[in-house]
Amino acid sequence: MKALAVIDKNLGLGYANDLLFHLPTDLAHFKKHTLGQSVVMGDRTLASMPKGQALPGRNTLVLDISRPSGKLYDVAKSKDQQGADYSGPESYICYSFENLDEFRAYIIENKDKLGDIVVSGGATIYRLLLDDCDELVITEVEAAAEKVDVYFPEFRDNFDVVKSEGPYYDGSLEYNIRYYKKKEK
Ligand SMILES: NC(=O)c1ccc[n+]([C@@H]2O[C@H](COP(=O)([O-])OP(=O)(O)OC[C@H]3O[C@@H](n4cnc5c(N)ncnc54)[C@H](OP(=O)(O)O)[C@@H]3O)[C@@H](O)[C@H]2O)c1
């Protein structure tokens, strides 16, 4: 499992249920890593997406305590609502999971259909699943956002940088994309 996130200099992730930065080039990067694969997100992050809907072209697994596990999430208005085909990049499906054990069992059972599992936020879900991740792809903005109310968990003691891309620029913002692998225990 891998996690993808955009953070500021202080591990800041978001404010008022929105992202801290809207980096156009980073959207392409997110797409590259998730298209045809499966993204895992919390219900608040799903609600913050355009129209509160899952992104097309990928399976979306939603962690949400208040909905029954394994049920199609009712924002999924896709041709896959009947659960027919969720293997291709044109399809998407949303499930919700009451707890992490059921989520973990589901991804093991459906391994072949789901492709890569990409943890996509928010703060609660990164914190819950960081130990399950062996790879992190972090867009690191070299600035401190003014207002932050959610943070990525501290990870640098347990992961090593294996690759770095950048610097990239969006206006005056500089950022690098760093690939981390979990340290051997
Ligand atoms: N910078 C980035 O890369 C990035 C990416 C994504 C999101 N974000 C930001 O992160 C913020 C949202 O993060 P957040 O922490 O508020 O919300 P979140 O992680 O999107 O969702 C939290 C939800 O997870 C559910 N949950 C908690 N524990 C669970 C468990 N053990 N099993 C199953 N579900 C569980 C809860 O559902 P219930 O509501 O049912 O209790 C909780 O409301 C926003 O500001 C967003 O913009 C940033």
Instruction: Report residue 130: phi and psi, to 5°.
Output: -55, -40
* CA atoms of 166 and 155, how far apart (whole Å): 21
Q: Give nearest CA residue, ligand 1 atom 8.
A: 122
What is the CA(34)–ligand 1 centre distance, in A?
A: 18
Residue 91: its pLDDT value, please? 52
CATH code assigned at 28:
3.40.430.10
pLDDT of residue 28: 86
Show the CA angle centred on residue 140, arms to residues 97 and 22, nearest 5°.
70
Q: Which amino acid is at 103?
A: F
Sheet of 38-42, strand order: 94-97, 59-63, 38-42, 117-119, 2-7, 135-141, 173-182, 159-170
pLDDT on residue 78: 42
pTM: 0.90
Range of the domain at 88: 5-182
Ligand 1 mutation pick, 131, 150, 151, 175, max ligand atoms within 8 A of CB: 150
- Residues in the chain with pLDDT values less than 50: 74-90
Q: What is the pLDDT of residue 141?
A: 97
Q: What is the pLDDT of residue 92?
A: 63
Tell me how far the alpha carbon of residue 173 lies from the centroid of ligand 1, in angstroms: 26
Signed CA dihedral, 26, 29, 34, 35: sign only: positive
pLDDT at 162: 98
What confidence tens digit (pLDDT) does each residue in 109-122 have?
888 888 999 999 99
Calculate the alpha carbon distances from 95 to 35, 40, 66 in Å.
17, 10, 12
In a 13 Å sphere around the CA of 27, the CA atoms on its Cβ side amount to 8
Report the pLDDT value the prediction gives residue 72, as an integer from 0 to 100: 66
In contact, 75 and 69? CB cutoff 8 Å: no
The confidence score (pLDDT) of residue 75 equals 43
**Cβ atoms 42, 64 nearer than 8 A:** yes
**The pLDDT of residue 67:** 74
Site to substitute for ligand 1 among 4, 6, 9, 13, most atoms within 8 A of C-beta: 13
Q: How many domains does the chain have?
A: 1
Distance 160 CA to ligand 1 centre (A): 25
